[in-house]
Structure formats: structure tokens, C-alpha cells
Amino acid sequence: MKIKAIIILFLLLVSTHTFAGTPGEVKEGSVLREASLYGFAGDFRKLSEFRGKPLIINVWASWCEPCREEMASLEYLFNRYGGKQFNIIGISTDDDSNAAYNFLMRSGITFDNYHDYKLTMENMLGATTIPLTLLIDSKGRVLKKVRGFHQWDSPETIKMIGTLFGTKM
């Protein structure tokens, strides 16, 4: 009986830790706050500049194998739909910006990516695990958070994106 109680307590502690949010996390249904985005080429943008068109935000790191695998399908999605029906941006959580930049160059990723060296976006988006992808409406409201690897160029996913964004794909 004592062992069962210990196991249950352990599972409760682990599950609370696993699903705990980040400081200042914006939940699904809420609007993202303003944030500064720092590009790898020294460029700077405000998150609010992406308002007016739906946005897909992918949080990743160069050392994360599922993140690297997912990038090809995001690149395909960007090349097919990006900038027309919606925008796509990446947010690197790498400590080493050179590692992130080198990965982007080697892999041929062309959609805009930013380095979150202050962890502002990581915390606001709730990136307790990566990859994390958010689908944001044209007003900045978080419609959906997708945790873990996802095949973004599959017909089912493209249909889901179209439904969420209210656009024909």
C-alpha cells in the first residue's frame, strides 16, 4: 500500500512538472504580447509587424533532432503558401547563435528565423519542450499549439491549417 502511494505521488509530481507552463506564457485563445525579434543577419523586427495575416511560429534549436527533421516540411509549407495566405517564422532557442545560423545555412531554410537570446519568446510561447509550433490568427490570437515533431506538409495538416486560418489551401 505504501509503495502504491509513493508511485502515485511521484506520478503527480512528474506530470505537474512536465505540463507546467513558462513564466508569462500566453495560452491558446489569448493574444500574443509585443516582443522584439532579433534576426541572424542583425535585423530587428517587432512581433506586431506580422499582424494582419495569419502566422505560424516554430520554436526550435539546432541540437534538437526532431526540430531539424521538422524544418524541411516547414520549408515546403513556406515555399508553397508562405507570404500568400500566411507567414512562417522560426524562433531559435540555441544558446549559441552561430550553431543555429550554421544549421539554417546548411539546410537551406529560407523563411525568417530569429534568435531568442533573452528567452522572451520561449517563455511567452510556452516552449517547455521543442519543437513547438503555434498557429496565430491575423489579430495575434493563439489558435493552436502543436508540441513535438509534426509533418507540416501532409495533406491532413494543410487542411487543418486552412480550417484554422479560414482560408482555402
- pLDDT tens digits along 90-145: 999 999 999 999 999 999 999 999 999 889 999 999 999 999 999 999 999 999 99
What is the residue whose three cell numbers read 510561447? 125
Q: What DSSP letter does each residue of 70-87 carry, written as one string?
A: HHHHHHHHHHHHBTTTBE
Band (pLDDT 50/70/90 cuts) for residue 20 is low
Q: For 50-73, write each residue's pLDDT tens digit.
A: 999 999 999 999 999 999 999 999
3-state class (DSSP) for residue 99: helix
**b/e 64-84 (16+ beta carbons within 10 angstroms → b):** beebbebbebbbebbeebbee
Do the Cβ atoms of 37 and 46 come closer than 8 Å?
A: yes
Q: Where are the domains of the chain?
A: 25-165
Label the pairing between strands 113-115 and 36-38.
unpaired
Q: Which of 58, 68, 120, 116 is nearest to 89 (CA)?
A: 58
pTM: 0.86
Taking domain 25-165, whether its CATH number is 3.40.50.300 is answered by: no
* Cα distance between residue 111 and residue 72, in whole Å: 11
Residues 6+ apart with CB under 8 A from 34: 46, 47, 48
* Cα distance between residue 55 and residue 58, in whole Å: 10
Angle, helix 97-107 to helix 65-81, in steps of 10 degrees = 50
